[in-house]
Chain A
Amino acid sequence: MSPSAFPAAAYSTLWGLAVALLPAGAGAVELRTNTALATAGYYQLSWAADGPVELVESPDPAFSTSRLVYSGPDHATVLSGKRDGAWYYRARRNGDGAPGSWGPPVEVTVRHHSLNRALLFFVIGGMVFGMTVALIVRGSRSPA
């Protein structure tokens, strides 16, 4: 089985299992997300840590490639404008000494609403607005 055919969810499960079985190393940072499913492309990740941390993002649960999302002393970050897909995050302490070990990964799935649903709401909103304007304009012109 090629790596690409291996389901992302299975990677995630195996990775989570491996992390759970191994003792958390010094400097591991535990991430939390405010939602596991983001239907508008935004979400917040937060963590508790005494010093600066380094947070990375990857489309791959094994983090074969990753992007630095944040490095600094804050305790949360907001991500937005994400496209559909599964995104994986992990963090570690990175103070003056050697970086700590990576904490357990967190997965967030981005699945935007369908465009048809969005356009349906747009049309309903336009109708309500148009009728309200018509009510006021006609009412203002007629005598009290």
Chain B
Amino acid sequence: MDPVNSAILDPLTGWIVLAGFSALWIALGWYWGRHSDELDDYVLAGRGVGLALGTATAMATWVTSNTTMAAPQIALQMGVWGMLGYSLGAVGLLMFAPLAQRIRRLMPTGYTSGDFVRLRYGKTAWRVFLGISLFYSFGWLVSMGMAGGILIHALTGISYHYGMTVILAICVGYTLLGGFRAVIGTDFIQALLILSGLVVIAYLAIDKVGIGDIHESLLAERPELLNLLMPASIMFLFNNLLFGVGEIFHSNVWWSRAFSFREGVGFKAYTLAGLLWAPIPVVAGFVALATPALALNVPAADMVGPMVAAKILGTTGAILVLIMVFSALSSSLDSLLAATSILVTEDIYRRHFRPRASADELRRATARIIVGLGVLTWLLCAPRLTTLAELLYFTGAFVASTIWPIAAGLFWKRANAGGAIAGMVLGSFAGLISYFAIGFYVAALVGAAVSMICVLAASALRPGDFAWASLAETHPQKQGATT
């Protein structure tokens, strides 16, 4: 049974808004993608993305179900530290800035993060990494599909399954039509919509409810949310930071952007994106703390953001929220579909099954994989097995274990395959144990710590001597050998 019976918008209004924006994204996807015939154009936007688009796409992609839906959820569950801790996700973007610059320099013709791990550590580490990366990608895709269904249901009463289907179908549609150019172009528009919407909501929350009322009602009904020594939220702080770092360091979503940016753009784009993103979870999370002051019932923790915003803003506001969060989800879903499809195409389809595939065949395969990812995501979203935050942080154990293998692999000659493999396997394992034994708020932290110890120990015991030049692999299509 759907838990909400008190949606602020009627379903017809919801369908009209969804239809309008769906048509807009599809049209833009077609427009930007009409000349993307070459593989590099389709999957990496021709490797010439500039600073403005680069910053917007990095920021918009990081403003996702994580920020707009899970940040308020964490604030509702973990209180003030949850809200502030969520903004530490910006650290991942800031720390990736120097990595993006180095990736672009060391791998000017690279396609995926998998390329790096394969060239740097060999095939065993590469396959372990692919397992982690694809698992994470599906976790993120499913969380966003779920977020779409939850959002639409919370605001309009439209069934979770209809809403989830709509958002997945639209994102698959325009990513398929326009490839990476459409992803980056729509990201720019979506970033503007998200930022403006959040500023309006935060201003109205303070104006209509008032800080004093929020504080008093929290103290009376949910006092631990104001406790700066609440144990779970203290554990959550560095866990969230390391989870964000792990997500960004390993995921092809961020590597594909590093490859697509013009030389010299990556460092500035990721730095600016991090600085612009940092206040967003604070704003998004703050509205959740107004829940008791508004006497609002929250049937599921991951619904709190849109429900509070809709309550504060009324019908017109609810439409704005629907547009804003629909934009946020779309900007991340399309990026992830594009980045995961090229990872599957390059690292699995071509490297494992069709090493002599032509550029045309790879482009067609990428399109088919985008559709396949959409279908698989729908199947995994349908049962709605858990809440958004719990699903996301389950993947935290895995992704945080890649931080040290990636960072040390990019900067240390002495980092070696044994340390990387042990770090990813043992880090993931330890993170999972802590997830079940203690809680979702420590999984990434434990995974990162164990992985770091493995990489440090292996580098000290059997230091490698890696030749950086071997990362500059030429793609077979560039050699013209198979086309």
Interface flag for A126 (CB, 8 Å): yes
Chain B residues 342-365 with CB under 8 Å of chain A are none
A81 in contact with B79 (CB, 8 Å):
yes
Q: A81-B222, A136-B98 are in contact. Are A40 and B6 (CB under 8 A)?
A: no
Give Cα distance in the complex from A47 to B449, angstroms: 41
Contact residue among B102, B224, B242 (Cβ-Cβ distance under 8 Å from A83): B224
B223 in contact with A115 (CB, 8 Å):
no
Chain A residues 87-129 with CB under 8 Å of chain B are 112-115, 117-119, 121-122, 124-129
Contact residue among B225, B411, B439 (Cβ-Cβ distance under 8 Å from A135): B411
A122 in contact with B235 (CB, 8 Å):
yes
Interface flag for A73 (CB, 8 Å): yes
Give Cα distance in the complex from A41 to B76, angstroms: 10
Give Cα distance in the complex from A53 to B304, angstroms: 20
Q: A40-B439, A44-B301, A81-B224 are in contact. Are A128 and B242 (CB under 8 A)?
A: yes
Interface flag for A17 (CB, 8 Å): no
CB nearest neighbor in B for A115: B231
Contact residue among A74, A113, A144 (Cβ-Cβ distance under 8 Å from B297): A74
- A131 contact set on B, CB distance < 8 A: 452
Interface flag for B221 (CB, 8 Å): yes
- A40 contact set on B, CB distance < 8 A: 77-78, 230-233, 439, 441
A129 in contact with B241 (CB, 8 Å):
yes
B439 in contact with A144 (CB, 8 Å):
no
- A70 contact set on B, CB distance < 8 A: 297
By size class, the interface of chain A is 35 or more
Interface flag for A2 (CB, 8 Å): no
Give Cα distance in the complex from A78 to B75, angstroms: 13
B411 in contact with A136 (CB, 8 Å):
yes
Interface flag for B99 (CB, 8 Å): yes
Give Cα distance in the complex from A75 to B3, angstroms: 5
Interface flag for B138 (CB, 8 Å): no
B225 in contact with A81 (CB, 8 Å):
yes
Interface flag for B60 (CB, 8 Å): no
Give Cα distance in the complex from A20 to B85, angstroms: 45
A139 in contact with B412 (CB, 8 Å):
yes
User: Which of B13-21, B122-130, B402-410 touches A?
Assistant: B402-410
- A135 contact set on B, CB distance < 8 A: 404, 407-408, 411-412
A82 in contact with B411 (CB, 8 Å):
no
Q: Which 9 pairs show the lowest CB-CB distances between chains A and B?
A: A125-B238, A139-B411, A81-B222, A40-B232, A118-B231, A81-B225, A73-B5, A113-B231, A76-B299
Binding site for A on B (CB under 8 A): 1-6, 76-79, 91, 95, 98-99, 101-102, 105-106, 218, 221-226, 229-235, 237-239, 241-242, 245, 297-301, 304, 403-404, 407-408, 410-412, 438-439, 441-442, 445, 448-449, 452, 468
Given contacts A72-B5, A118-B232, 11 further A-B contacts (CB under 8 A): A40-B77, A40-B439, A72-B6, A74-B6, A75-B299, A78-B301, A112-B224, A125-B242, A128-B238, A136-B98, A139-B102
